[in-house]
Chains A and B, each alone.
Chain A
Amino acid sequence: MTIAEKQQQLLDELNLFQDWTERYQYVIDLGKKLSPMAEELQTSDRLIKGCQSQVWLDSTLEGDHVTFLADSDSLITKGMIALFVRVLDGQTPDDILQADMSFIDETGLKEHLAPTRANALSLMATQMKQHALSYSQG
């Protein structure tokens, strides 16, 4: 599936939900399911420091596909990252670089986020693209 297709699939799923509790529960559950990152990988060079929560991001290049590994001490933040991972994981560096990440605005989740969380989310997307960039140059 292409990134755009995966984004659409995600939006379709989220649109099934009537109220914020269900949407949040969905995100939280995604967070719970995201495979945890080994503690020894949670180092400062992989850390994206947010205002109240911390995010660790790592990636590897396998063949021409990028695999992302991410974690957070906040379950909601982790769920949000899981949305990104689901969309970008296993794609090529070039496709990741070209991906339009504004799909997150259509999820209806952003209205519920404190500005600090929304910022962290944008930062997250930027970081994932940075990883892709390092592979496409390297």
Chain B
Amino acid sequence: MAFDPHTIRDQFPILSTQVHGKPLVYLDNAATVQKPLQVLESSRTYYEEVNANIHRGTHHLSQKATAAHEAARERIAHHLRASSPDEIIFTSGTTDGINLVANILTSQFQEGDEILISALEHHSNIVPWQMLAQRTGARLRVIPVLDGGTLDQEAFRELLSARTKLLALTHVSNAFGTPVPVKDFIKPAREVGALILLDAAQSVAHQAIDLQDLDPDFLVFSGHKIYAPTGIGVLYGKSSILSTLPPWRGGGEMIKEVTYESSTYNDLPFRYEAGTPNIEGAIALAAAFDWLTALDLSAVASHEQTLITEAAAQLAEIPNIHFYGPADRQGALSFNIEGIHPYDLGTLIDQMGVAVRTGHHCCQPLMNRFGITGTVRASFAAYNTSAEVDSLVAAVRQAAQMLS
């Protein structure tokens, strides 16, 4: 059955906000998505009924909080089809997860090794690797993007070699919405013995992640893009790999025994979770997964797809509009109108209540490749409606008229 967004909108109080006296049309979901009451309530219940520090108290609440935190880990492992909850490391988000991996891999790299990323990457899947390359003498190489906004697979195969030690690839492009056929990249990368990290920040809210099927070594995402709060995220790492790697941050929780001379480290996943974690965030993230799964993620995704297709079709009637990315884009629709600065368009449609993102979307090298400084990006979530697509199109039309 088709998914009806009206059945869930009242679970998002923020959607009834008025902006400049007009109803909010929130189409900046790729930046961060709004949170349903069920998720907000899980945070609140945690603080009202459970709050205590975990893994260290003998008292009742501490045990309850620990159990809730670990149950959240188990549920998330289950939703992602990880082999074990030990492979789910809680982080503060995608950026944190990538930096963690880049740091614990330091000793694995030496001069002449190559780190392969793609031209679609977010700065957070570029800069940590650049820093790793600077530390180790490794070289960063980039799979180019074709004019249509998809990756050049032929060039990818030419770039692959025995020197390729790591492939760090986005699952879906945040700037253009390009879905990357990651399996086509993972298999050849495996054959040359590279480690594989997937950036699932933009895919996790729009498609079920099946770790058994995708089989990356690492996968990262942020809770705030999947209906959970900011400040929580996940790094999935294969235990066979993580257990051979050194810790990164030191502190409480990550140790077994500490003397002034040396320390022994805890087992997975705690070894990578130094300090008091974001307990409430982990619980809310599990609640968000539960909430989204109960809606039927594939029905939600096809609803979002319909909205994107509608938006693209209606916007296409505006003269001199140019879209980026392929037709099967996921989550986001990126465009420019010739002669109009995206910032101006964004400013004017904000006056009409429509929230979109303008600019480089943390992808400056990608923008440079297309000879632009930025785009206008409308991005969609489960609660967006056809009427909102109409509002977007009407607003863009009026703004374009004012600016030309």
Given the known inter-chain contacts A52-B358, A53-B343, please indicate yes or no for A112 contacting B351, CB distance below 8 A: yes
Verify B341–A28 contact, CB threshold 8 A.
no
Verify B347–A114 contact, CB threshold 8 A.
yes
Determine how close the nearest CB of chain A comes to the CB of B22; give it in whole angstroms: 11
Verify A52–B351 contact, CB threshold 8 A.
no
Looking at B348, B359, B374, which has the most chain A CB atoms within 10 Å of its CB? B348
Which of the residues A21, A25, A73, A117 comes within 8 Å of B347, measured between beta carbons? A117
Residues of B within 8 A of A52 (CB): 342-343, 358-359, 373-374
Given the known inter-chain contacts A28-B402, A52-B359, please indicate yes or no for A20 contacting B347, CB distance below 8 A: no
User: B344 at the A/B interface (Cβ < 8 Å)?
Assistant: yes
Name the interface residues of A5-58: CB closer than 8 Å to any CB of B.
20-21, 24-25, 28, 51-53
Verify A74–B20 contact, CB threshold 8 A.
no
Verify B341–A20 contact, CB threshold 8 A.
no
Name the interface residues of B341-356: CB closer than 8 Å to any CB of A.
341-344, 347-348, 350-351
| Alpha-carbon distance A51/B374, docked complex (angstroms) | 12
Residues of B within 8 A of A113 (CB): 347
Name the interface residues of B381-404: CB closer than 8 Å to any CB of A.
398, 402-403
Verify A74–B343 contact, CB threshold 8 A.
yes
B240-261 contact mask (Cβ, 8 Å, vs A): 1 or 0: 0000000000000000000000
Verify A24–B351 contact, CB threshold 8 A.
yes
Verify A28–B403 contact, CB threshold 8 A.
yes
Verify A20–B373 contact, CB threshold 8 A.
no
Residues of A within 8 A of B374 (CB): 52
Determine how close the nearest CB of chain B comes to the CB of A94; give it in whole angstroms: 35
Residues of A within 8 A of B359 (CB): 51-52
User: A75 at the A/B interface (Cβ < 8 Å)?
Assistant: yes
Q: Label chain A's interface by main secondary structure.
A: helix
Range class of the B interface residue count: 10 to 19
| Alpha-carbon distance A76/B402, docked complex (angstroms) | 10
Verify B373–A76 contact, CB threshold 8 A.
no
Name the interface residues of A53-71: CB closer than 8 Å to any CB of B.
53
Count A-side interface residues using an 8 Å CB cutoff: 17
Verify A73–B402 contact, CB threshold 8 A.
no
With contacts defined as CB atoms under 8 Å apart, how many contacts are there between chain A and chain B in the complex?
A: 44
Determine how close the nearest CB of chain B comes to the CB of A20; give it in whole angstroms: 6
Q: Label chain B's interface by main secondary structure.
A: helix
Which of the residues A20, A25, A51, A76 comes within 8 Å of B344, measured between beta carbons? A76
Verify A75–B351 contact, CB threshold 8 A.
no
| Alpha-carbon distance A25/B351, docked complex (angstroms) | 13
| Alpha-carbon distance A24/B350, docked complex (angstroms) | 12
Verify A73–B351 contact, CB threshold 8 A.
no
Determine how close the nearest CB of chain B comes to the CB of A34; give it in whole angstroms: 15
Given the known inter-chain contacts A52-B343, A52-B358, A112-B351, please indicate yes or no for A75 contacting B20, CB distance below 8 A: no
Which of the residues B344, B350, B358, B398 comes within 8 Å of A75, measured between beta carbons? B344
Looking at B20, B341, B344, which has the most chain A CB atoms within 10 Å of its CB? B344
Determine how close the nearest CB of chain A comes to the CB of B21; give it in whole angstroms: 9
B329-350 contact mask (Cβ, 8 Å, vs A): 1 or 0: 0000000000011111001101
A97-115 contact mask (Cβ, 8 Å, vs B): 1 or 0: 0000000000000001110
Residues of A within 8 A of B347 (CB): 76, 112-114, 117
**A interface residues (Cβ-Cβ under 8 A, vs B):** 20-21, 24-25, 28, 51-53, 73-77, 112-114, 117
**B interface residues (Cβ-Cβ under 8 A, vs A):** 20, 340-344, 347-348, 350-351, 358-359, 373-374, 398, 402-403
18 residue pairs A–B, Cβ–Cβ below 8 Å:
A20-B20, A20-B351, A21-B351, A21-B402, A24-B351, A28-B403, A52-B342, A52-B343, A52-B359, A52-B374, A53-B341, A73-B341, A74-B341, A74-B343, A74-B344, A76-B343, A112-B351, A114-B347
- Beyond contacts A53-B343, A76-B341: 13 other A-B pairs, Cβ-Cβ < 8 A, are A21-B351, A24-B351, A28-B403, A52-B342, A52-B343, A52-B373, A53-B341, A75-B341, A76-B343, A76-B347, A77-B343, A113-B347, A117-B347
